[in-house]
Chains A and B, each alone.
Chain A
Amino acid sequence: GENVEQHPSTLSVQEGDSAVIKCTYSDSASNYFPWYKQELGKRPQLIIDIRSNVGEKKDQRIAVTLNKTAKHFSLHITETQPEDSAVYFCAASKGGSYIPTFGRGTSLIVHP
């Protein structure tokens, strides 16, 4: 089955800095890669996703890149703000199955 590795497990940055979270996956058939943000005690919420037919997608301060050859994808957050502090999960799934495999999460702390 699919295996998703996520690094780092904890990331501490100063407000205004950039943050990068990286994930690798094992199944080359995976073609959908969502990123979820989970604030403390709340539900995971989709913040951005990318499909295997594109290499990069951007939404304001958030961007995701995908390297299918190397089987890795990354989340980039620019100009971080304290409200970006949360746990971020990457995931990978195949088109025929809606069941994503999640990474273990990255706890992002943005210091004011």
Chain B
Amino acid sequence: NAGVMQNPRHLVRRRGQEARLRCSPMKGHSHVYWYRQLPEEGLKFMVYLQKENIIDESGMPKERFSAEFPKEGPSILRIQQVVRGDSAAYFCASSPSRTSGGSNNEQFFGPGTRLTVL
């Protein structure tokens, strides 16, 4: 089991460009979560998705940010017209399907994408 995969690991963008961050959940996991971590701060929830559905995007900025988790392929967090304040580590986590039985709430984190906006 390869675990949660994220790419790229490091991403440098100039102000105004677009950033696309990808996350492949663990095999068998259908729940994906995106978090942002600023230097020396905790993990801030952004969005929770299941296949083809956004379940909770209460932590996502209203403008410039979007996320998707298509039927096929990885989940993508997209940041349009990046600004310096978007520089952070973005972590993706996945958890098992709720329908698989049990009440396992454990989330497994990917290695993160460190976004630097110049």
Which residues of chain A come closer than 8 Å to B107, judged between CB atoms?
A: 34, 46, 98, 100
Which of B1-57 touch A at CB < 8 Å?
31, 33, 35, 40-45, 48, 56
Question: Contacts A102-B43, A102-B44 given; 16 further ones with Cβ under 8 A?
Answer: A32-B105, A34-B106, A34-B107, A43-B109, A43-B111, A43-B112, A44-B91, A46-B106, A49-B105, A89-B42, A97-B56, A98-B33, A98-B98, A98-B107, A104-B42, A105-B42
In the bound assembly, the distance between CA atoms of A49 and B91 in angstroms comes to 20
From the candidates B35, B56, B98, B105, name the one contacting A93 in the complex (CB within 8 A).
Answer: B105
Q: Map CB proximity to B onto A74-107 as digits: 1 under 8 Å, 0 otherwise.
A: 0000000000000001000101011111111100
Nearest A residue to B47 by beta-carbon distance? A99
In the bound assembly, the distance between CA atoms of A45 and B108 in angstroms comes to 7
Q: Can you name 10 A-B residue pairings with CB atoms under 8 Å?
A: A34-B107, A44-B91, A46-B106, A46-B108, A95-B105, A98-B31, A98-B48, A98-B98, A100-B45, A104-B41
Which residues of chain B come closer than 8 Å to A102, judged between CB atoms?
A: 35, 42-45
Interface residues on B, range: 20 to 34
Which B residues lie at the A interface, using CB under 8 A? 31, 33, 35, 40-45, 48, 56, 91, 95, 98, 103, 105-112
We find that the number of chain A residues with CB closer than 8 angstroms to chain B is 22
Which residues of chain A come closer than 8 Å to B91, judged between CB atoms?
A: 43-44
Nearest A residue to B96 by beta-carbon distance? A98
Which residues of chain A come closer than 8 Å to B109, judged between CB atoms?
A: 36, 43-45
Nearest A residue to B48 by beta-carbon distance? A99
